[in-house]
Structure 1
Amino acid sequence: MIAVRPATAADVPAMSRVLIASITELCGPDHGGAPERLVTWTANKTPEGVAHMLASPGLRMLVAELDGQVAAVGAVVPDKGEVSLNYVDPAARFRGVSKALLSALEAELRVHGVVEAQLTSTTTARAFYHAAGWSEDATPVACMGGEGHRMRKRLG
């Protein structure tokens, strides 16, 4: 069973584990296995970094649980109308967890009055966002030392 809820301080170790595993194991097309890119990308995904994110007043963090275990981590910045994080545990990939989390992130933005959301997708997640109704801006942007894709979705 999948449940999405606000993240809490008790979730920080699991959130850190999910973020680092997702980046390391699933985002190969983006980091190419380059150690320096992985170090840079995961630098703020340590428990201390995640705790700092969780305490940030402008950031709303959610977790998706699969069978009671944190299986995905997401965040939005309502003031910017932006999805800023959406990562899934490699063991939970293709089980509906990311879709449930993205839906909850979009709903969180709607609650804050956001009509059109934006995000920067990795190459890895690009098809996932397209399938969820997001459209891509024409010009690629820098993203974690590689190429990112600016995307938008009308929420209202």
Structure 2
Amino acid sequence: MGIDIRKAVPHDAANACALLRRSIAEVCEPDHRGRPEVLDAWLANKTPETIAAWFASPTNHAIVAERDGQLLGLALLTQAGRVALCYVEPGALRIGVGRALLAAVEEQARAWNIRKLNLHSPESCATFYERHGYANAGLEKSCFGLECNLMWKQLDAKPEEMDAKRKRFCNCSE
């Protein structure tokens, strides 16, 4: 009963949309705190049609995590090295779904010869990415008005090199 990772297809869009919306509303509640101006902006492009287009785009690598046919998570990597989506079903947190999705995205990035990944993480999820080797470059306002952590990871770096860069792009000690 492991977690299966597979390429997302446009047919997955409706279920993926429902999962995204639940995850943002519930898991990210400490970040948006139910503020309609933030939550509505965050959810505005989370429609089955938009998600199907993201999944179908040849410049995106979209994957889903399943167990026994049930969708547990999804992730999307762009060819520009941006992890645009990495969301887990609220009831499936802390069982390895996010870790499996992130590992699969990083594997695809390496196959595309992408050396550095970046993403915006809400504050409540930043520690997850830090545990998986992402450096936190500080807060940045997202397109939907939420202060998010700009996270990045050098894929070809050794773990000890990443430790030295963990806090800032500039490699300063603060």
Superposition TM-score tier, normalisation by shorter sequence: over 0.9
| Counterpart residue type for residue 3 of structure 2 | I
SS of the residue aligned with 1:105? helix
Question: What residue ranges of structure 2 are gaps of 5+ in the alignment?
Answer: 157-174
**Structure 1 vs Structure 2: percent identity of aligned residues?**
38
The 1-side partners of 2:9 and 2:141 are apart by 31
1:59–1:77 CA contact under 8 A, matched in 2:
yes
| 1:68 corresponds to 2:90 | no
If the length of structure 2 is used for normalisation, what is the TM-score?
A: 0.84
Alpha-carbon distance, 1:120 to partner: 1.4
The 2-side partners of 1:56 and 1:27 are apart by 27
Match of 2:20 in 1: 19
- 1 or 2 for the larger relative contact order (CA 8 Å, sep ≥6)? 1
* Bigger Cα Rg: 2
By percentage of residues, which structure has more strand?
1
The 2-side partners of 1:87 and 1:59 are apart by 16
SS of the residue aligned with 1:45? coil
The 1-side partners of 2:99 and 2:90 are apart by 14
If the length of structure 1 is used for normalisation, what is the TM-score?
A: 0.93
The 2-side partners of 1:29 and 1:147 are apart by 12
| 1:58 corresponds to 2:81 | no
Deviations 1:88-145 (A, max 9, x none): 11011111101000100111111100112111111121010011111111x3101231
Please tell me the root mean square deviation across aligned C-alpha atoms, in Å: 1.2
1:66–1:97 CA contact under 8 A, matched in 2:
no
Out of 11-20 and 55-64, give the one that drifted further.
Answer: 55-64
The 2-side partners of 1:35 and 1:150 are apart by 23
The 2-side partners of 1:122 and 1:109 are apart by 22
Deviations 1:10-55 (A, max 9, x none): 2111100110000000101221101222111111111112112223
Question: What residue ranges of structure 1 are gaps of 5+ in the alignment?
Answer: none
SS of the residue aligned with 1:54? helix
Pairs within 5 Å for 1:113-128: 113-128=113-128
Aligned pair count reads 154
Runs of 4+ in 1 over 4 A off after TM superposition: none
The 2-side partners of 1:68 and 1:59 are apart by 23
The 1-side partners of 2:10 and 2:127 are apart by 32
